[in-house]
Chains A and B, each alone.
Chain A
């Protein structure tokens, strides 16, 4: 067994540890509550291991810098919260279009606008999915525990590299700031974007995709001298606005995640085998939900929890399987109903879906979820 380094950390600190373990060697960021500890931790750690930390002039520059850094060969990340995440949207779309594997951490606070800067929320879920303009893929993970904040950050790096697409860690403020024990493994699996074959290398086409729809990757400075643009482009990377090419490109960008999603769908089933009331909850809300489910079971109600860790792509089959015996579904969220829209769509009209929503800056309690489980 690998020796382990046991610490008592916040979610933000665990995220930074996860990034370093995953091979992140470039961080660009701009201060914003409640994510700033991630930047602070990276600013202390990266210089010690020869990594690069830079505080940029705003969030737009931060995501621009990490995209540039990844092109130049370093795994790169930024961390922000709602207002900064909104500013990053244009370049997030650029990363999706140019297929640059970078990681964005969005520590969700109350919004819209300046909102509740230090309070928890889950109100950026749909922004994580659809924030940037145009059709695009989205890979979004949401941890519930400190250990998971670490693991999900590692996953975000690995999934980004595997699929050549930006990934988002959507962590609510409660997970970001609470502290739990974390055993940091000495090493974790590190995925790097696959390089071209020797034959492909000679005339490298940065957007030539094979069967799995994910093109090979080369860093700038390695001799390929290729072009990267946010314009519609063909397999060479140069602009191409032919109808056939645009249709192919946009479908490929979305399909490459869809086709390979089995590799990145993470979720937990808790007592769902025979659940008549299914709770679907994620992030810190899932902690309250788990307790509510256990308390319902004590009262004789067959309740279960389905907890998506990968919010996008949606674990649709997982939700359907968990709900196969359900007569009612409860979706608690610290927003006015965002992920519930997905659950309702997946389950259709056959099963009633009850919402538990809270946007007052306080966590959703087990009692309020329990009441929705046992109530009419």
Chain B
């Protein structure tokens, strides 16, 4: 089935800034396919971002779009959603944006369980500023600020989301767009805060510095670093060691923030 991407794209904003081989466009298209499936009115969709390569996404999309300050997209998005819960709010963010400077907002958005979907375009590096190490840079991997390899342990975006209370947590790879479509669609349908850790290879900075090769070779490496969560039960601990599960990892129902607030208002006004 084909859809008209141009319905959702601001053609006059093209060409985009992303490098050849970058996975961000794949994630953006997957997000558009999910929104198209849901038949959301474009006037009712707000896409919010912070600062970085991925955060340029909203500028290309024909929705209400908000390009905020570095790390703060979730704070702005919380204001948008809470002020007008009728709006569908999607946040796109990078690993530096969401996990480093915006880490506090990330855990609190998870805890609050406000109906927002966060898609982390995770490329394990600060791309926009020239390839510095990020909170998801793998231990030992190089960045321009980690020329001898990162000595820190990276954040597991999904584990952090689940531990902080997000009600939908998933990981998707840009190499499997079909699975990513299914995952983002499910995330958008969750009545609560959803986190999708969407892996996207940065060939220009991560790939080159770490001699990880071109886009297709980087995708192979991602594949080797991950396993399908559906196969987890059949795998030994050794087979899973050091690898990241991919798929829908966590989904629970818990009261959503805006709905709870409405209940509070009804209770207070009834007195």
Contact = CB atoms under 8 A, between A and B. Distances in A.
Q: Do A and B come from one complex?
A: yes
Interface of A: 26, 28, 47-48, 50, 52, 54, 56-58, 60-74, 76, 90-91, 94, 219-231, 238-239
Contact of A69 (B67, B82, B268): B82
B67 A60 contact: no
Contact of B108 (A61, A66, A76, A223): A61
A71 B80 contact: yes
Contact of B68 (A50, A74, A230): A230
A240 B252 CA distance: 43
A70 B83 CA distance: 8
Contacts of B81: 68, 72
Contacts of B87: 72, 220-221
A64 B64 contact: no
A57 B105 contact: yes
Which DSSP category, helix, strand, loop or mixed, fits chain A's interface?
mixed
Interface string B248-269: 0000000000000100110011
Contacts of A28: 79
Contacts of B44: 221
Nearest to B112: A54
Contacts of B108: 56-57, 61
B67 A64 contact: no
18 contacts: A28-B79, A54-B78, A64-B72, A65-B78, A65-B82, A67-B79, A68-B48, A69-B79, A70-B83, A72-B81, A74-B84, A91-B69, A219-B84, A220-B64, A220-B84, A227-B65, A229-B66, A229-B67
Contacts, number: 136
Given A28-B79, A221-B44, A238-B13, A91 B72 contact: yes
A50 B265 contact: yes
Interface in B44-76: 44, 46, 48, 58-59, 62-69, 72, 74-76
B210 interface: no
B45 to A, nearest CB: 9
A64 B75 contact: yes
Given A61-B104, A225-B43, A227-B65, A220 B80 contact: yes
B234 interface: no
B69 A226 contact: no
A221 B83 CA distance: 11
Contacts of B75: 56, 60-65, 68
Given A68-B78, A68-B81, A221-B44, 14 more contacts: A58-B104, A62-B75, A64-B75, A65-B78, A68-B75, A72-B81, A72-B83, A76-B79, A220-B46, A220-B87, A223-B43, A225-B65, A226-B64, A238-B59
Nearest to A52: B82
Contacts of B48: 68
Contacts of A226: 64-65
Given A47-B264, A52-B261, A228-B67, A61 B105 contact: yes
B65 A73 contact: no
Contacts of B64: 71, 220-221, 224-226
